[in-house]
Structure formats: structure tokens, C-alpha cells
A and B are shown apart, each in its own frame.
Chain A
Amino acid sequence: MGKMERFSFVALVAGVIFFLFADFVSWALPMFVLKDIPMKTKTDLAAEAKAKNYSAWADFEKLARYYPEQFKKFCDYEEKFAGAGKVSNCAPNEETFAKALAIGHRWYVAEGCWNCHSQDVRPVSNETLRFGIPGVSNTVSYPSEYQNELQAPVLWGTKRIGPDLIREAAVHDIDWQVAHLYDPASTSPGTNMPGYPWFFEKNKDGKLVPNERGLAMLVYLQWLGTWEVKPTKEWALK
């Protein structure tokens, strides 16, 4: 027994070998099982949103139309920490969409939205009914929808004060989101979600409008789950 009670034995066996074995079981093996799911970058996500005409793309164009002045500022806005620089062609295109996702995601993390909102619809407890999308048969969370840069680290969260957001695109329209982000109590009486006035500014006419960060956040929110939202009827007919 004496040998087991030495620094080098404990450090090697418990400290390194057991630890590596546990990591192998807990995450290396699951990663191996999931390894064939392609990893998507923000650019891939933007291209997909455009190509498949996701609801988020329409919302994005709407925001550009509603707030042209702020949209221009957004194009020039640089944020090193989110890896976002000036865009070359300021229009609602793939490049600006990818930039909006990057900045929106960055502030979603920085504001700790994930401490109150999960992004994980579980297959139990009626969650697919509560957070599901009408007309889509099964909207439980599945691995491939998380295999992208915006889920590294993953945003499942551990606590819900507010509802799950991974199907948010299907829940509210963009106007609701703008009002709610500025002052949640205005749309949801009794809520304890804080307001985020620093995502807004006054425009030339003195009206409150989302600023660069606000626009990005709104695009990000309306993008969540957009891949599960069925295309509108007119689009399906074309």
C-alpha cells in the first residue's frame, strides 16, 4: 500500500490516467460519434440563410429598410473581440449577415442572456409543445443544429428564468423584438427581464432606434431556429 500513497503514484494514476480515461468516456467518444456532422462557419450560416430564404433573411432585410442610417453605421462598425471588421459592400448581403451574427452572438454571451435563457429543447416535459413550431412535427434539439461557430462553447445554458430561445424565430415578429429588447415590460407585463437601452440610440428625428449592437442582436435572435420555420405559403408556391 505504501507506494499508492506517494506523490508520484497519485499524480500519475489519479491525476493523469484516471482523468484522461474519464475525458475519453465523457466527451472524446461522443465527439467521435458526432464527427461526421460538418462544422459550419458564420459565413456558411449566412449563405444558408440566404439560399434557403429563411425567415431570418426577411427580418434582416426589414431591419436594413427600417433603420438605413443605423445599418450604414453597422457596416462600418468594427469589433475586434467578435472578429468583425468593416464590410466591403454595405447592403443586406451574406457578409453583413455573417457580421451581424458574430456581433449579436458576442453580446448575447457578454450580457449573460444565457444565464436566463436556455437554447435546448428537450424531448421530455412537453417542451416540444411549448417551444415547438406549429406545423413542424418534431422540434426537439438535435446535434447538427449546434455544429457551428456560434455554439462554441455551446449555449444550452443551465437555468431558465425566461423561455428557451432556440426556436425564437417562430415566436415573435421583429417589431415585437425591438420593443421587448428596449423595455421588456412594455410587451410582457410582469416580466423580470432587464431592459437593454444601450442597444438603442436616438436617430435624426429624435426617435429611439436600435444601434449597431442592437441591430446585430435582433438579427441573431430572429435567426435562432429560423432553419425550422417553414417557408411562407407564397414562397412555397413559387
Chain B
Amino acid sequence: MFQIVNPQNKEKSHLHLLTDETKATIDYWLNKYPHEQRRSAVLGALHAVQDQNIGWISTELMSAVSEYLDIPLVWVREAAEFYSMFHTQPVGRHKISICTNISCMLRGSEKIVQYAENKLGIKLGETTEDGRITLVKEEECVAACTGAPMMIVDGHYHENLTEQSIDEILGGLD
């Protein structure tokens, strides 16, 4: 890894940011693919660093993943920015994604969004001031259309939402 260039143009290593646990998880994913296709481990790796870093992935962590997998950094960023399950900005303790895709939209997801926004005092994509809840910017269909409208709270599906059920769910979060 060397081009004798101006020292100020050299990038620093971020490998030390990965915890042993994260590295073990990445290794688990790396083992599943042949070396030439190690790019495939990027999703597993991004999940691992996101978990390690209380729910979001910093650019430094992306660099660390790219170094660890030995793949171009831009591939890591492409994946991190493509999927709504990855967060590249700091987030709250709880992540709430309200589906706004077609079935949920037909079943009134716009109202659900509005209700949640008013209740929490934040817009989609924002985090409450106390750092408790983030309303995820957008969520595509997660194949729960039969229970539309729906939302995902920290990975758990909640279907057939009503204002009342939203109150209950949000109230139950620490």
C-alpha cells in the first residue's frame, strides 16, 4: 500500500476501531465466501459495526470495514447508504421505521407517520432530543402487507397500527 506522495495526502488506518467481537462476526461472514467474493461480507460487517457503535456507522468505521475486508472504501459506503437498515448519522436508542410503501400507504400510513411525528415532536429522519427515539427516514415494503399499516421497532414488527397501539408501543420504550 504505497505511493510515495506528499505525506499529508496519506490516509490513516482505522482498523483499531473494530472490537474483537466485531472482527469475529466479520470473520464469520468472510468464511462463507471465496476470497475473490469477499465483497459479499460487507452487509454482515456493516451490521456488526453498527451494533458495536450504538446503532450507526461513522465514516471511520466504514474505512475500518474496507481495510478489514480489503475492498475499496466506496463499496462500503455504497452499501451503507443504499440500505435503509444502515444509519450513517447518529441515532437514538430505539429505531422506528414506519412503512410507507404502497399497501401501507393505502391503509393510511401517512396518518400514522403524522401521528408519530406529532407525538414525538420530530420529523422522519430525526431523533428526539433526549436521544431516545429515531424515526427512520424511509422504509420500503418489508413484506408485511397483510398487516398494513405497520412499523418496525428495533427489528420487531408491529402490524395493524392504530393511534392507540402506537401510544402503547412508544410508551413501552425506555
Whether both chains belong to one complex is answered with no
B interface residues with partner A (beta carbon < 8 Å): none
